[in-house]
Structure 1
Amino acid sequence: MAHFGLLLDIDGVIVRGRKVISHALKAFQKLVDSKGKFRVPTIFVTNAGNSRRQDKADQLSQWLGVKITEQQVVMSHSPLRMFQQFHDKHCLISGQGPIVDIAHGLGFKKVSTIDHLRSQFPLLDAVDHKRRQTEPSPYERYFPRVEAVVLFGEPVRWETSLQLIIDVLMTNGLPCAAASAIPYPHLPILACNMDLQWMAEACLPRFGHGAFLVCLENLYKKVTGKDMIYTALIGKPSEITYLHAESCVQEEALRLGITHPVRRLFAIGDNINTDIYGANLYNRYLDRRREDDFSKAILAAGSNSARQTLNSTMSKDARTTAEMVGNCGAVSCISVLVHTGVYNEDLHDDTCEHTPRDFLPVEVGLKEPAFRVDNILSAVDLIFEREGFS
């Protein structure tokens, strides 16, 4: 039985947009047996955040012709289950798709969307002249104060979301009147999916939620003169996402009848700024976790944001789970870069820094993959050969 597990990116590795990469189908023929059962604990770790885990599992099953369960999917927002201290707060949520259902599924009980906020404060949305309102809503005074902001993924109308999120931050959650002074630190912000770009059917990468975050950070800085502060950054390359994915690998191994711990993780991705950097960050975390203990491993996390997220914002139950995984979990996370997505060797320029702001500066070597291969089939062949698995 396998002593290793796989963490697979989706966009640029398995599909481009809705088109399945042909090598992926051949790769999955090797990952499952004649009955369609996985031979290797396999978890799909995507930075997508605008769909439910079950919906993504169903989509993967249709694409690959293999039964994928909800438990095998880690969305960028999946670790938000750990942030129980925000679940009872009134949260403003941003993104597209069924984000209210997603939020409720993660444990958030009181949420308002950008569209809901706009309907309560119609004068705030003034960029689109066709939608601009001239009369306030009579219900403004009854709108409950926003206590936190949760950013699931890129919205459709960026100008509206950017304006209203900053309005909420500058009024301490109640944008019916200008504050006498800009509150700082501002309300908590939990942001998922830091991908600046992602690969769809087009010949060039498309803007991702990371591009929206760049706009939000810089607009807030320009307007207030202060840096926007994330309470937590979730999704690759954050260590907490890989910690959550590792626990999913161990659970999947048990479902497959594998009773020994999975000791090595192989993370296959197409983006050096998220997939490769994140896997290498987590590998360093595992080194420290193995040598010392959980609390010291937190201090070795790759960024101020990661340390804050891992240490102060995780619930007690989440920290207990992390410590349990550390006691019998993986000892290494090995990064594998494929060339079917965002990464383009001919266009790659080391002077262009696409890493999320709060993960800078990047230490030398952390964006270098352990292995480079053409596609996911070559990656699976390489891993099987290294592991002596057939």
Structure 2
Amino acid sequence: MAAPSRSFARLARSPTLPRTRRSHPEPWRPCRTFQAKVQSSGIPDYAFAFDIDGVLLRSSNPLPGAHEALTYLQRQRIPFILLTNGGGKSETERVAELSEKLNVELNVDMFVQSHTPFAEMHEYKDKTVLVVGGDYDKCQLVAKDHYGFQNVVTPGDIVCAHPDIWPFSKVFMDYYKSFAKPLPKPITPSNPSETLKIDAIFVYNDPRDWGLDSTIILDLLLSSQGRLGTLSPQNGNPALPNRGYQQDAQPPLYYSNPDLWWAASHPLPRLGQGGFRVAFAGLWDAVTGRAKLEYTMFGKPHQLTYEFAERRLRAHRKMLFGQRGLNDPLRRVYMVGDNPESDVRGANEYVSPFGSSWRSLLVKTGVYRGGTVPSCEPSVILEDVGEAVRWAVEDAGKS
């Protein structure tokens, strides 16, 4: 595994420059002995993708070097995007918060969160979809107001209309009633053609009430054609593929984030959406006798998310440099992250359809802590995001 050069280690230990009135150090430059490498056209042939939690922020607080690193890249016109497995609110709201916390001007074109790719799933825009996870109805509002889904239902809507669907949610009922809305159709198992039909299930963010959410997702995956309150007669049929499970036009299941752990304010990492996915998979195994569970996963480290992110990065590059930003090749992208399983594995395994190569830079300010062997080996391990940018700019200048 590569290690940072001694010159970069010295730079990382250099005294902090005077602070502004907002308590941010003044912008720094990686090293006076070299400049950011550019092509003959004046356009850098490399760019960055940054994770957020554990790299730029920790529990909403800026991490050392974050403001300086992003400011330096903007002044040098080196393209970058923010690529996070977080979510739960609109891109506009999240970017405004990040701009304020980091004291860096950012825009939505530079930002990809876990459920951003759902905005391109046009085949469900006029269907009825279940949106799971997040606080209150924030994810529902993202789906409707920002992504254009016309008919969105939440587990809160369902349990308020039919409290007996999960009797143990009584203690949360005041919470659900604060945002629940009427269902587009009732749940009437006696008349399946008139009962509420769900066409797709989207887990936008970490579920808050695992019992309710698991129950409703399980009901839908065992239903006949996604009609709540029904059971498919094909379930358990040994003559059918997968013993009949998920063979009766049940709604497809989409997860936005595979992360088992994420860096929160607690000293130890906390379970993320990946924890819910693993728990639900165990429930599915117990109920179906280990039938295969079909689902689609977005988020880092998966190819679909990295392809989406690179398209977003290239579009941002074009915005910076015009048509030349498309014609001049983007040779390399440095992925800076704190999670070996999402950031590092994703960059290492990503096969770019555009011909670029990605390098994984692992920092010690989040999920990964120094002194341990990461589960997926990065190109280099560095102290923090500031040192990562220093290392990458020097590396780009050498090759």
Q: What TM-score results when the alignment is normalised by the length of structure 1?
A: 0.77
- Aligned-partner Cα distance in 1 for 2:114–2:357: 22
CA deviation digits over 1:86-134, x for unaligned, max 9? 32321111011411121122232221011112223321112346469xx
Task: Give the structure 1 partner of residue 340 of structure 2.
Answer: 272
- Counterpart Cα distance in 1 of 2:133 and 2:172: 20
Any residues of structure 2 matched to 1:56-75 within 5 Å, and which? 56-75=94-113
How do 1:1-390 and structure 2 match up within 5 A? Answer: 1-33=43-75, 39-97=77-135, 98-104=138-144, 105-128=146-169, 130=171, 139-141=186-188, 143-172=195-224, 173-182=226-235, 184-185=245-246, 186-225=250-289, 226-230=291-295, 232-257=296-321, 259=324, 260-282=328-350, 285-286=351-352, 326=353, 329-346=354-371, 367-388=376-397
Larger Rg, first or second structure (1 or 2):
2
1:121-151 C-alpha deviation (Å, 9 max, x unpaired)? 321112346469xxxx994235421121111
Shift of 1:331: 1.9
- The answer to whether the 8 A contact 2:219-2:229 is kept is no
Amino acid at match of 1:9: D
Conservation of the 8 A alpha-carbon contact between 1:250 and 1:261 = no
Q: Secondary structure at the match of 2:202?
A: strand
SS at match of 1:127: helix
Distance 1:131 1:23, change over 3 A: closer
Q: Determine if contact 2:207/2:213 at 8 Å carries over to the other structure.
A: yes
Deviation at 1:184? 2.0
Question: Structure 1 residue 330: deviation in Å?
Answer: 4.3
Q: Distance in 2 between matches of 1:335 and 1:380?
A: 12
Native 8 Å contact 2:56 2:63 kept in 1 = yes
Bigger drift between 232-241 and 97-106 goes to 97-106
Letter in 2 for 1:140: I
CA distance in 2, matches of 1:379, 1:385: 10
> In structure 2, do the counterparts of structure 1 residues 57 and 349 end up closer, same or farther at CA, with 3 Å as the change threshold?
closer
What amino acid does structure 1 have at the position aligned with 2:303? E
With over 3 angstroms needed to count, the CA separation of the structure-2 counterparts of 1:129 and 1:79, relative to structure 1, is closer
Distance in 1 separating the partners of 2:113 and 2:200: 21
Deviation, 1:204, is 0.4
Cα separation, 2, equivalents of 1:387 and 1:179: 57
| Residue pair 1:7, 1:43 contacting (<8 A) in 2 also | yes
Amino acid at match of 1:164: I
Number of aligned residue pairs: give it: 321
Deviation at 1:383, TM superposition (A): 0.9
Asked whether the equivalents of residues 206 and 272 of structure 2 are also in contact (C-alpha less than 8 Å), the reply is yes
Alpha-carbon distance in 2 for matches of 1:99, 1:55: 12
CA contact (8 A) 1:217 1:227 kept: no
Asked whether the equivalents of residues 50 and 95 of structure 1 are also in contact (C-alpha less than 8 Å), the reply is yes
CA distance in 1, matches of 2:252, 2:169: 28
Amino acid at match of 2:142: I
Q: Report if the CA contact (8 A) 1:50-1:96 is conserved.
A: yes
Quickly say closer, same or farther: Cα 1:32–1:213, change in 2 above 3 A.
Answer: same
- How far apart are residue 20 of structure 1 and its match? 0.8
**Structure 2 unaligned runs (5+)?**
1-42, 174-182, 189-193, 236-243
| Superposed CA RMSD | 2.2
What is the percentage of aligned positions where both structures have the same residue? 29
Q: CA deviation at 1:80?
A: 1.7
Shift of 1:44: 0.3
Deviation track 1:339-362 (CA, whole Å, cap 9, x = no partner) reads 110012445585xxxxxxxxxxxx
Query: Alpha-carbon deviation of 1:386?
Result: 1.4
How far 1:180 moved relative to its partner? 3.9
Offset of 1:372 from its aligned partner?
1.1
Where 1:388 maps in the other structure, the secondary structure is helix
Shift in Å, 1:160 = 1.0
Is the CA contact 1:169–1:187 (under 8 Å) kept in the aligned structure 2? Answer: yes
Which residue of 2 is the match for residue 354 of structure 1?
Answer: none
- CA distances 1:38-72 after superposition (whole Å, capped 9, x unpaired): 61111000101211111111111101111100111
Q: 1:75 to 1:131 in 2, by over 3 A?
A: closer
Structure 1 unpaired stretches of 5+: 287-325, 351-366
C-alpha distance in 1 between matches for 2:148 and 2:349? 28
